[in-house]
Amino acid sequence: MNINLSNVKKSFKKQTVLDNVNLNVESGTIMCLLGPSGSGKTTLIRIIIGALKADEGTIKIGEYGIPGFEPLKHIGFMPQNDGVYNDMSAMDNLKFYGQLHRIKKRELNERVEKTLKLVELWDERNKLVTNYSGGMKKRLSLAIALLHEPEVLLLDEPTVGIDPLLRRSIWDEFHKLKISGKTIIVSTHVMDEVKECDNAAFLYYGQIIKNDTVDNILESFSGNIEEIFLKWRTNNENNC
């Protein structure tokens, strides 16, 4: 499912957070959202899933307008802050969310096992989440987002606090999902992860100041991702 944003604007208490954002993410691709803290990445993701209403502009996921109830069944969302219940086990968290998605019991049990093994929490499945580390809660949040096998994934810094080996296996899974036709938007501060994506959009002071394929961005700047990030930031601060 394609994701299309046209002239999206959002303000909070007269402070502009998103200013005329236009974005197109094609099915079967991974889009990386880059930008410093406060640039509007999380607000943009929350508008795409319908958790926030844009002041102006249109948002569509496939044929569905956002906000709306129908597209929610096609969306997997991982928030920046862990969306888990601490007084439940990982197993019970996933079963609860699976029931919300109306997944049949036998299929749900299979998916719970698959996703918990993917994020390496199967051996800890019966432990209360309150006893999890921050990284374990992050991994459980990712499992919840993947549980109902959505066509669109919106992931707000999904690998922060996750060790490099597990991060590699998670990105391998993202690539498998992409090949199967899933559409993925990932916000990240981990610069090496940009190279895992097909396209990158740099958000700065609520505006997308660069949006291109990762290959074109690397070629045009003739440098590594860290240098590109710093150069964009310096150039735009000088222009303010």
Domain ranges of the chain: 3-83+150-238
Distance CA 232, CA 206 (A): 14
Which pLDDT band holds residue 221 (cuts at 50, 70, 90)? low
Among residues 116, 121, 174, 117, the alpha carbon closest in space to that of 150 is found at 174
Determine if the peptide bond prior to 67 is cis (ω within 30°).
yes
Mean pLDDT of 182-203: 88
Q: Does residue 223 surpass a pLDDT of 60?
A: no
User: What pLDDT, on a 0 to 100 scale, did the predictor assign at position 68?
Assistant: 87
Mean pLDDT of 92-99: 95
Q: Does residue 239 surpass a pLDDT of 70?
A: no
Residue % of the chain over a pLDDT of 70: 92
Length of the chain (residues):
240
Half-sphere exposure of 194 (CA within 13 A, CB side): 24
Q: Are strands 199-204 and 207-213 parallel, antiparallel or unpaired?
A: antiparallel
User: What pLDDT, on a 0 to 100 scale, did the predictor assign at position 95?
Assistant: 96
Which pLDDT band holds residue 162 (cuts at 50, 70, 90)? confident
Would you list the DSSP string of the chain?
--EEEEEEEEEETTEEEEEEEEEEE-TT-EEEEE--TTSSHHHHHHHHHTSS--SEEEEEETTEEES-SGGGGGEEEE-SS----TTSBHHHHHHHHHHHTT--HHHHHHHHHHHHHHTT-GGGTTSBGGGS-HHHHHHHHHHHHHTT--SEEEEESTTTT--HHHHHHHHHHHHHHHHTT-EEEEE-S-GGGGGGSSEEEEEETTEEEEEEEHHHHHHHHTS-HHHHHHHHHHHHHHT-
Output the CATH code of domain 3-83+150-238: 3.40.50.300
Place of tokens 């735009």: 236
User: What pLDDT, on a 0 to 100 scale, did the predictor assign at position 220?
Assistant: 73
Query: What is the residue-averaged pLDDT of the chain?
Result: 88
Among residues 146, 144, 196, the alpha carbon closest in space to that of 167 is found at 196
Mean pLDDT of 165-177: 87
Cβ-based neighbour number of residue 37 at 10 Å:
7
